[in-house]
Amino acid sequence: SPSDPDLVERARAAKEKLGSKVFVLGHHYQRDEVIQFADVTGDSFKLARDAAARPEAEYIVFCGVHFMAESADILTSDDQKVVLPDLAAGCSMADMATAEQVAECWDVLTEAGIAEQVVPVSYMNSSADIKAFTGKHGGTICTSSNAERALEWAFEQGEKVLFLPDQHLGRNTAVRDMGMSLEDCVVYNPHKPNGGLTAEQLRAAKMILWRGHCSVHGRFSLESVEDVRARIPGVNVLVHPECKHEVVAAADYVGSTEYIIKALEAAPAGSKWAIGTELNLVRRLANRFAPEGKEIVFLDKTVCFCSTMNRIDLPHLVWALESLAEGNLVNRIEVDKETEAFAKLALERMLALP
């Protein structure tokens, strides 16, 4: 739906008043009404890399979710302030791994006698605490665009990987990209004693997958892939690696949001695509590429927004920008110094991956 012209004007005016003092970052899943004000748009990797691109900006307004704003705070200088326009914009997947649960898991691995062989690899979609745990134990962060390189690196450091918190990205990367088998992977359930695993199972595994998932991407099923292939002959199925293994195995292409955009930019006129990722992005791409004769549909029949990404709407963005323009620092996301130091170690290992 078109944005309220009054709010658009207010956002524009506040941004103009702030000038180079503000840098607005927007994840691809943000609403169109918000994305129009982003200085940079990107996937999680690009936004982490670019967060520090404007050292002169006093404020970084992060249009995305909480873990992304935390990462931006970790990767920018202390006098740059990161603002999340709605503090309720969290991520249900990131919430599936708490610091206490992960510490308990490490105890289980220690008891099984394997902790020394395990390298943690944590998906960007995790709290700063989990990133700090990862850094402390010699591991790295990854995103959906570099998970394979992160795993290759990790298996040079140790024999086993503890992959947090998205079991699907971990399994898909291990099996689809690294040639491991499903039997090389076990799932650690933080709600069961010992993760629901025996010491023998842990010792035999190469990939210990945390039992977390994205509820948005979890909605796509094998049936939705079969349905769209029957409905649209010749369709290319392109999905995000947060989808379940059977969906990824049945798809033609798999990649991060940035990969999805690049693939559609390179697609020939007349090609047909079914996309399995968040709906704001799919609609934007369908509208953008329709004039070039590329037919783009959403993979599922039901709508599927990320409700927490959607919390950042134009009224929240206007409120944040106007507050900053009046000199009121609101909704600052600040990671404490000790957590930041270890989390930064893990993030910098990711940024240094070949």
Rule CB under 6 A: which residues touch ligand 13P? 28, 43-45, 91, 125, 143-144, 214, 240, 242, 256-257
Q: How far is the CB of 92 from ligand SF4 (least distance, A)?
A: 5
Q: Do the annotations mark residue 215 as ligand-binding?
A: no
- Cα torsion for 255, 258, 259, 262, to the nearest 10°? 160
Tell me the one-letter amino acid at 4: D
Q: How far is the CB of 64 from ligand SF4 (least distance, A)?
A: 8
Residue 242 or 322: the one with the smaller Cβ distance to ligand 13P is 242
Tell me the one-letter amino acid at 188: Y
Would residue 86 be called left, alpha or beta, if left means φ above 0 and alpha means ψ between -120 and 50 degrees? beta
Q: Do the annotations mark residue 66 as ligand-binding?
A: no
Residue 214 or 228: the one with the smaller Cβ distance to ligand SF4 is 214
Q: Residue 308: which of ligand SF4, ligand 13P, none does it interact with, CB under 5 to 8 A by kind?
A: ligand SF4
Residue 17 or 49: the one with the smaller Cβ distance to ligand 13P is 49
CA 107, distance to chain mean position in Å, is: 27
Q: Do the annotations mark residue 125 as ligand-binding?
A: yes
Q: How far is the CB of 258 from ligand SF4 (least distance, A)?
A: 14
Residue 105 or 306: the one with the smaller Cβ distance to ligand SF4 is 306
Q: Do the annotations mark residue 214 as ligand-binding?
A: yes
Q: How far is the CB of 288 from ligand 13P (least distance, A)?
A: 17
Q: Do the annotations mark residue 124 as ligand-binding?
A: yes
Residue 278 or 340: the one with the smaller Cβ distance to ligand 13P is 278
| Cα dihedral sign, 251-142-110-213 | negative
Q: Do the annotations mark residue 91 as ligand-binding?
A: yes
DSSP 118-166: EEEEEESSS-HHHHHHHHHTT-EEE-TTTHHHHHHHHHHH-SEEEEESB
Q: Residue 296: which of ligand 13P, ligand SF4, none does it interact with, CB under 5 to 8 A by kind?
A: none
Tell me the one-letter amino acid at 19: G
Q: How far is the CB of 302 from ligand 13P (least distance, A)?
A: 18
Q: Residue 46: which of ligand SF4, ligand 13P, none does it interact with, CB under 5 to 8 A by kind?
A: none
CA angle 344, 114, 129 (to 5 degrees): 25
Listed in sequence order, the DSSP H helices in 173-215 are 199-204
3-state class of 117 per DSSP?
helix
Q: Residue 92: which of ligand 13P, ligand SF4, none does it interact with, CB under 5 to 8 A by kind?
A: ligand SF4
Question: Which residues contribute to the site for ligand SF4 (CB under 6 A)?
Answer: 65, 91-93, 125, 214-216, 278, 306, 308-309
Q: Which residues of 258-295 are buried (b: 16+ CB within 10 A; e: fewer)?
A: bbbbebbeebeeebbbbbbbbbbbbbbbbeebeeeebe
Q: How far is the CB of 161 from ligand SF4 (least distance, A)?
A: 20
Residue 227 or 313: the one with the smaller Cβ distance to ligand 13P is 313
Q: How far is the CB of 123 from ligand 13P (least distance, A)?
A: 9
Residue among 286, 284, 283 at smallest CA distance from 296: 286
Decide: 83 and 332 in contact? Cβ < 8 Å.
Answer: yes
Residue 76 or 280: the one with the smaller Cβ distance to ligand 13P is 280
Q: Do the annotations mark residue 213 as ligand-binding?
A: no
**Radius of gyration, CA atoms only, the chain:** 21
Residue numbers in the known binding site are 27, 44, 91, 123-125, 144, 214, 240-242, 257, 306
Residue numbers in the known binding site for [4Fe-4S] cluster are 91, 214, 306
